[in-house]
Structure 1
Amino acid sequence: MAWHHEALGLPPHADLVAVRRAYAAALRRIDPATDPAVFARLREAYEAARAWCEQAGAEEAEDAAATEPAESAVEAKAGDRADAGSSADEGVVGAEAAVPYVDPTVTLAWRFAADVGARRPETIPQLLGETLVELRTQYIDAPGRFEEHLIDLLGLQRIGHRPEVFAAAEEQFHWREVGHLASLGQRGQWIELVLAQREDWLALPEDRRRMWVEMFAQAESGLDRSLLRRWPEMRRLNERFPAWVSLHVSGDTLQAWQAAFDAQPASTQETYRRMAPPASVYWPKRVDLTRQRSRDRTTAWTVGGFFLFMLGGSAHYLLNAEKLAPTLVSSPTALSVPHESAEQCAALYVRMDRADAFTGLDDEEILTLKARGTNCARDGHWHPPEPGAP
């Protein structure tokens, strides 16, 4: 192993991206100001590793360009050896063909997919955890690269037990953390879609979900005539939850299912469509609850607005009553003024709310107005006119 890769803690096959990340991680662990010698050595290793990666990339490009015109010569040479009794394998060895570099995370991802197919679903979280432990012994970016490969295997349906693998990966890679999925680009967008559709799926009645999952499993194990009548149901589910359904039913199964249904007589197809559950079954109940909560919020705002209106009127009255209280209590006029209707009190409220309510009035007239206001307040009529009142 080259000294610069060893200094950065990288394997011989590490690429330029891994070199940069390893250098950044090592840089965070030292203080260049207090330990300039260590920093200089680290910087030297980084520059050497970067130059090595760039040179290796240039050599690979040259090899790739030289390989294409030489293919016919290699094949001809292999054919000559076959005619002479040599095997094709001997021809390849004799040609000393260069072995192309294979990302170890790709190899590990496919090995994981093969292991998943041979395991029980409940053992998948442990299997994924063991795989990630092995990955962390490689270069710094290995878990991230493996995560991308695993998402591709899920999205392209190249791995078994997809619902269980998705759930285990969601836990291991923290797919619900804010900002993590955004860093995954289109892969992250697909995961967000699956998560959103799963939430809607889980809001459906449990007995319905259980019945549909059993239908998914039956279809994946083999289509039979009993499933033909359920294609309209399956079609609606696939339209409503396409990303989530893709974890349970493969695209090949859906195509075969639809083809078998379309092969039935038109009358039979129509009968099966009438047998399918109504469209409302495929929408979660929480949609209705959301609408109900919206209505409740509207009612709450209406009631709240009414109480705020009443509170404002009461505060207005209290502020005015505080100023008028000594006069109202001590004045005998309040006892002799007759009580008035709600409409009269509302008109009086508007009059006394003006800044010039008592302008030009003598003391007796002012006391009379205040007494009328006191009686209206006692009768519960001290408030502005109702909206729309004449």
Structure 2
Amino acid sequence: MNDTPFFMEHLGLRPDADERAIRRAYATLLKKIDQEADPAAFQSLREAYDNALLWVRHDNQTGHEATIAAPAPTPAEDDPSTLASAMFAEFLQHMPALPADDDALWQQALQQSLDDERLIGISTRELFEHHIAALLAGGWQPGHEALLVAAVKVFGWGDDRRRLRSLGEAGMMLDAAIDERATFDLQAADVRYDQRQLIARLRDDTPPTTRQLMEGLPLLEQLIARFPTWLAMVASAPLIMQWRASHAQLSKWRKLPFRAERAASKAVRGRIGLLIWAIFIGMMVLGSLFSPGEKAKPQVADTAADYARRGATALDQHNLTDAIDNLTRSLRLSKDADNYGLRAIAYAWNGQLELAQQDIDQSAALNSASPMLFRARGTLAGKRKQYAEAVDAFSLSLQLDPNHVFTLLQRSFAYFELHNYPQVLADTGQVLKLDPSIGMAYSLRLDVAWMQKDKAAAMKEIERMLAARPDSSYAHHVAAFSYTQWGMRPEAIAVLTRGIERAPSANLYLYRAQLRPSAELAQRRSDLAKALSLEPQSFSIARDSAELEIGTAHFSDAQPILTSALNKAALSKSQRSTLLGLRGIAYTQTGAAALAQSDYNAARALVDNETGLNNLCWLLATHDTSLDLALSLCDASLAKAPDDAAALDSRGMVLLRMGRYQEAIASYDAALAKRPGYYTSLYGRGLARHKLGAHANGNADLKAARAIDDGVDEEFRNMGLKAG
């Protein structure tokens, strides 16, 4: 019997070949392929290469004894982090040439990056995806409204929300943004039109007129309350704050006609989404841009010093228009190096880079040794993505003014972009010594720990974060996510429990229910009930509650949960389709065939795109229900998008359930040709190969899938599918 895995045979290698031999074989075979003339051969070779690397690495981690000699270092040019960063930098350079109103061109540009040979490795592609996710989560910049749409399609975030789990906090934000966008689309056309007009206006830094402020603020507050995460990705958060600040400064008689609208939104004025503002402006209000003691309370006065103080206060609050206006008034009365530096920072944050450079030149002419001058230079360099120059400028500023929190944190972000992780840790460590409550520093240190695969460091940061923010439900949720990321589920459950005791929230209860072992049925049911009582409108909680009852064969108990959720108006078409599909499954299992068919028909009528069709197909396939209907849904999805990896994977699952193993393998092959790292496709193909007696190849697939996601066995067991 030949025990050589099929992918090693493809590369012409023995089973004991090492990574270096795999890379040499791949490079040799790649030269023999015309990728344009024979894309199938290239895809097959790339699949064999990726699977071989995963297989060897998994063996090295789990099956071999340690050797005395250290392994040869990976060449820098092959390092996944280096390659992904280089591709990301090239994509950033290409972004300004892409029109913001053409989603298709952004999608094409992203796909071209993924098709580059440098991103053939699974780890490299995932790191590139992480860069794009972090870029979007970092707040709107010109073109991001199109990039978000393109990224959701190219990376399959909307098709397979499981992918977002691996993207950390950025993935959590994107998950929320996708849900909020779906809810946005559910509104009436005229409502969406008015909101879209305002969102577009919030990308234009032209100061609003008084009438625009009075008419636009009620609608803006509504957008902030309903779609906080998505809004920050498609509109300028600094401009939103400017509009709110400008509106607050209007005379009372001007705002009187809009008293009713303001009263209606009073309840939500104070609660701007934490995820948005903590990330986009939280780090900018850590303290004055001046050193401690340099700033006084703003006073109503007309001197240069008073205008400067008012400008500094506005800049501290990220009210850029107000800051620029006051600093300009001050500079008209008195030329001052620090005030030119402050205005340069305001211009840089406002995207007016040329004006920022002019102010920096003026500041240098007046005082070439001012810490504010170098702060401004570092800020401008960072906006231009010249991170090495930013580090140099911030370092000079810190030489002149040590322990300045803002400058230390800004330099740490620049170091992170340069992958200089020791310096990131040094700077954020100093920040936390000065102020242990600054959450952004902990977050950045957790990012470093994950990038370096330093579990001990991550655990230490979690402890420090929770000690500094013991009553924050968000901090406990982030800690639990990090524990889960590191494979520490009991610790994740424990920290969620502590968070619930200190600051109970629906998200904490929901996450704990998701993490509990399947045997803890009563506890899971209790957590979901409490979550639903806190957020009765939540689609996610209703879905998980119904899934729990269906998964434990309590089909009659699932039906009222789903009916109650379906009677609520705040559901997108996709969400309503999912709940109808689940209720159809519950009806099917209780013998109510007519009711089940009615729900299936209604669910099908709500989805008219490839994503919705695929999601419904996957839902039925994973529950092993109505498989003929599931197959027709997958086929309908593929008719719209023949190369969609998610739909091909779902179709493979349906055929696997139906016992049509050869067809299932073909479908999984097609999915893996498009997305080589799709662990569910690898695992499903492995199961199908075992059914046909191809045990060696089946084991290789299962092994490769586990190397990508060590929880894949449990995931498939929960669907009633076991290996072996």
Question: Normalising by structure 2, what TM-score?
Answer: 0.27
Question: Normalising by structure 1, what TM-score?
Answer: 0.48
Higher relative contact order (CA 8 A, sep 6+): 1
Larger Rg computed on CA atoms? 1
